[in-house]
A and B are shown apart, each in its own frame.
Chain A
Amino acid sequence: MKWTISGSSNLDETLALLAKDRQVYAPESLENGTYRMTRADTWQPGLHTLGEYRQTEPLKALFFPAREFIGRWGDTGDREPMPERIVFGVKNCDLSSLAIFDHVFLHGVDKDTYYAEARDKTILVSTDCSSPLDVCFCPAVGEQPHARQGFDINIAETPNGYVIESGSERGKELLESAGQLLEPASDDLLETLEQQRSSRYAELVEQGNTHGLSPGMDLRAAVEGAFESGLWADFAEDCVECGACNFICCTCHCFLLADGVDADGKAARTKVWDACLYSGFAAVAGGGNARPLRAERFRNRFDKKFSYFPQVMDRYACDGCGRCTEACIANIDIRDVLRRAVDVSDTLHARSSDHRAD
C-alpha cells in the first residue's frame, strides 16, 4: 500500500508523529549548499529537512562510529542501552551501503553486538534524491537515486504530493500508527512519481556519460584487468595519503582496535576507523609490509571495492555517492580512475587477444 499525506495534514505534522519518542537525525541545510545530519529529540520544522541530496557525512557513522568505546579492561558491565532512533532523509547511496556493514558486522565469523543494537533501534526513512550533486554517479555502480529496498519507510516528493510507503514490517506498523494523517496515494500520483524517477535516473546516466561511465559497465573486470598497469602509480603521484577518501566513504569499513589508558588510568579499548591508504595499514611486526608503496595502497582501495566485494557479496562496495571525489585534496575523481581502468583493461585485453590471434 502506498500513501500520501491527507489534505488536512502536512509533512511536518506527519514526520513529527513518526518521530515520536525517538531520537531524531535529519539533514540540516547549510549555507554552503551542503547538508549535515543534525540530532534532536523531536522533528524540528525549519531546521530539519528531508534533503535534496545526501548529507556530507556518511550514514555509516550512525552505526559504525568514527570512535567507539569498546570497554575497560576487566569490566564486564552492561553498556547504557542505545535510545530508539529515527533517521530521516536517507538517500539510496547511504541506504544501500548498509548492506556492506551488515555483511561485515552481522553475517561474518562473529556479530558486533553494538552494531546489531544500533541497527535494531534505528528506523530508516529514506527519501528520493531530487537534485543530485555533480560528483554523483550511482547508475554506473548499479544504483539509482531512489531506494528500492533496505528502508523502513520511503518518502518521495512530487509536485503533486508525497508518496509514502513502507519497506519493512516495523515501517508498516509505524505508518499504520500515523494512519489518521495519511490517505491512499492515487494512481495519478504514483504515475507522476514513476515518471519523475525515470527522468531523474536518465539525467544521472547522462551525467555519468560525460565522465565515460555508464550503467552495466564491468568495473570489476576493469579494475582486475588494469591491476598490473601503471595507472595506479599515475594517480598515486597526486595522492597525499590523507585517508579522507576512506573515512568519508559510505562503504569503507576498516577499523583498528586501539588500546590505551583512560582518564582514571585504566586500560581501555576503542574501535577507531582506519584507512588503507595509510602506510602502516598492512604492516606487520619486524618491518614487513604487504603494501609499502602508495600506488599499491591506492590500488588496494579499488581492488577491495571492485574486485573483493563482487566476489564475496556479488556487488561493488561503492554506491556512487561521490564523497571521495569531493573530499580529495588532490582532486582525484573516482570516475576518472574507473574510466582509466576501463580503458587500460580494454587495451591490454585487445593486445592479448591480438597476441593469441598471432
Chain B
Amino acid sequence: MYPTLYMPVPATIERIEDETPDIKTFTIRPAEPIPFAAGQFVELAVPGIGEAPFTPSSSPQITDFMEITIMRTGRVTDYLHTMKVGDEVGVRGPMGRAYPMEAFQGREILVVGGGCGVGPLRSLLLEVIQDLKSYPRVIVRYGAKTPDSIVFRDAQTHGWGQDGAMDVMLTVDEASEGWDGHVGLITEILEEDYLDCHAEDGVAVMCGPPIMMTSGTEKLLARGYKPENIYLSMEKNMSCGIGQCGHCRMGVYYCCKDGPVFTYDEIQHDPRVWDD
C-alpha cells in the first residue's frame, strides 16, 4: 500500500464562491469524510501542481464536505483560482492542534481576525454558534484593507451580530463610498473605546497576516489578556504536515504538529516566533 500519510484523499470541487477580488471559498467533497476540529488544517493538493496548508472555514460539525477560503497569493493558490466546479483536488489531514473548545467553555471569547485569516475563525464561530449559551459573550473584531476585501461580508455585517448573538465590529484601513463603519487599523478597535471586555479571565483567539498577529498580540497584552489565554494561529511552511519534513520548525516546535494553534505563552520566549 502506498503510504497514505504522503498521498491525499481525492476530492471534488463542488462550489466556488467569490468572497473578494482575490479570495474565493471552495467547497470540497472528499471521497471519504475528513472530520476535523476548528483550528486544525489540511493539505490541499492540486494533482501534478503541488499542495499547500489551509485551515477549513466551514463548521467542523459537517464532515462530508469542507469549505476552504483561499487567497490568491502563490503558485498553488494561483492555480486553484483558475479551477472550476467538478475539478479534482486532494486532501490530506486533518493535521495539528485545534482550538481547545473545552477550555473555552464558560468564558468570554474575543475573536480577532484580519483579511483571509477569518477563515479558521469562521470555523470556530460556526462551532460556537451551535452552543452560544455556553459562552457568556462572544466578541468579533475584524479588519480588512478595504470594504471590498471583507471576507464573509454578509455574516460579518448581518449574520453573526444579529439579535445581539455576538458583538461584532469591523474596520477597514481605507474606506470607499458607502462604507459607514470604522476606518483604521485592527488594533484601534481593540482599544477601550471600541472593546469592552473581561481581559483578565477571557480568551482571545487571533488569526491574520503576520503584522496583525504581532501588533494585535501586543495590544491584547496591553489590554490585560494573559499570555496563556491568547490563542494564535501561526503560519509557517507546513509541507508534510506531520512533523517530518522540517520546513515549519519554530524553535522546539513544529508548527504543523505542535500548532498551528499556539498560546502566546508557549512561544513568547522564542526570538524567532514572529519571523514569517
The chain A residues found within 8 Å of chain B, CB to CB, are 70-71, 73-79, 104-105, 108-114, 227-228, 253-257, 259-261, 267-269, 271, 274, 276, 281-286, 288-291, 304, 308, 311-312
Contact = CB atoms under 8 A, between A and B. Distances in A.
Interface centre among A111, A227, A261, A267 (most CB of B within 10 A): A267
A257 B276 CA distance: 21
B275 A291 contact: yes
B245 interface: yes
Nearest to A74: B10
A290 B272 contact: yes
Interface residues of B, number: 45
Contact of A259 (B5, B10, B50, B245): B50
Q: Is the interface of A mostly helix, strand, loop or mixed?
A: loop
Given A255-B246, A290-B250, 4 more contacts: A71-B7, A112-B5, A112-B244, A290-B276
Contacts of B252: 308, 311-312
A255 to B, nearest CB: 5
Contacts of A74: 10
A83 B221 CA distance: 58
Q: Ordered nearest first, which 10 A-B pairs have the shortest CB separation? A: A285-B74, A254-B246, A267-B48, A267-B47, A288-B276, A71-B2, A109-B242, A290-B275, A286-B73, A110-B5
A110 B276 contact: no
Contacts of A267: 47-49
Contact of B237 (A73, A75, A282): A282
B150 interface: no
B73 A285 contact: yes
A308 B275 CA distance: 17
B48 A308 contact: no
Contact of B47 (A78, A110, A259): A259
Interface in B163-188: none
Contact of B244 (A71, A79, A105, A286): A105
Given A104-B244, A290-B276, A76 B1 contact: yes
A298 to B, nearest CB: 14
A256 B247 contact: yes
B161 to A, nearest CB: 30
A338 B260 CA distance: 32
Nearest to B116: A286
A325 to B, nearest CB: 22
Contacts of B6: 70-71, 112, 257, 269, 271
Contacts of B74: 284-286
Nearest to B90: A73
A37 B240 CA distance: 30
Given A112-B5, A284-B235, A304 B243 contact: no
Nearest to A76: B2
B90 A70 contact: no
A271 B76 CA distance: 18
B5 A78 contact: no
B271 interface: yes
A260 B48 contact: yes
B24 interface: no
B224 interface: no
Contacts of A304: 246, 249
B3 interface: yes
Contacts of A289: 276
Contacts of B47: 73, 259, 267
Given A268-B48, A288-B210, A290-B272, A112 B3 contact: yes
Interface in B1-27: 1-3, 5-7, 10
B51 to A, nearest CB: 7
